[in-house]
Structure 1
Amino acid sequence: MENQMILEKLNRLERLIVDSTKEIFNVEDLINYTGFTRSHIYKLVHKNVIPYSKPNGKFLFFLKSEIDEWLLQNKSQSVSQIQQHALDYSFKNRKK
């Protein structure tokens, strides 16, 4: 049982290493890369929320750089970042 767990973890690490060198993902690669479920990925594709290509009308492909950009969109700022922006703004716009 313990050997099986070790083998599963090694397989997952191997997939992550291989996936990190890829520039183009298929659905299975995207599942491993993002941790999203297959059904969630297909819902995102169906709603045209996630960037994808379907060159032959059948298989889905995802460009890693576009996925990274998409994953990082709508970034939230921390309280300290908001406070710093407020300070910068008030110093910049104060009356002389």
Structure 2
Amino acid sequence: MENPFEKIDERLARIENLLENIYSIIGSEKASIVPSKIMDIGQLSNYLGLSKSHIYKLTSTHTIPHSKRGKKLYFEKEAINGWILENKVWNQDDIEKEVVDYFIKKGKHFKGE
């Protein structure tokens, strides 16, 4: 009969090896596992799928929210997400809900079909 502690030791050794492999693959990128709240232009380019030159154009026209420190541009992830969702295209359900909410706030009765 096999010793249960040997089986546990084997499994722990396998888990340990897997973790070591994962850390060796990640290497120096361990810090980038934690999502940053601030992005530089390269990170933003990857995040949005836009070219850096297009992002520079958006910053020069003050279209995209950004900060500048010296010659470096920085972008706050939450502000970028808000900027992306600013121009939401409304569907029929959104419009109907907005109309009903408007009439409820104004205290008028609204009979839907």
TM bucket normalised to smaller? 0.5 to 0.7
Q: Output the amino acid matched with 1:84.
A: K
What is the CA–CA distance in structure 2 between the aligned matches of 1:20 and 1:33, rounded to whole Å?
A: 15
1:64 to 1:90, Cα distance in 2 relative to 1, 3 A: closer
Residues 13-92 of structure 1: matches in 2 within 5 Å? Answer: 18=32, 21-56=35-70, 58-89=71-102, 92=107
Measured against aligned partners, the alpha-carbon deviations of 1:61-81 in whole angstroms (never above 9, x if no partner) come to 111111111111122211122
Say whether 1:94 aligns with 2:76. Answer: no
**Counterpart amino acid of residue 60 in structure 1:** L
Q: What is the root-mean-square deviation in Å for CA atoms of aligned residues? A: 2.4
| Identity among equivalent pairs (%) | 35
User: Highest relative contact order (Cα 8 Å, sep 6+), 1 or 2?
Assistant: 1
**Corresponding residue pairs, total:** 78
What one-letter code is carried by the residue in structure 2 that aligns with 1:93?
Answer: K
Higher gyration radius (CA):
2
1:19–1:78 Cα change, 3 Å = farther
How many angstroms does 1:19 deviate by? 7.6
Taking a change above 3 Å as real, the CA distance of residues 65 and 87 of structure 1, as seen in their structure-2 partners, is closer
Could you say if the C-alpha distance between residues 88 and 55 of structure 1 is closer, same or farther in structure 2, counting changes exceeding 3 Å?
Answer: closer
Q: Deviations over 1:29-85 (max 9, x none)?
A: 0011111111110110010111111112x1111111111111111222111221233
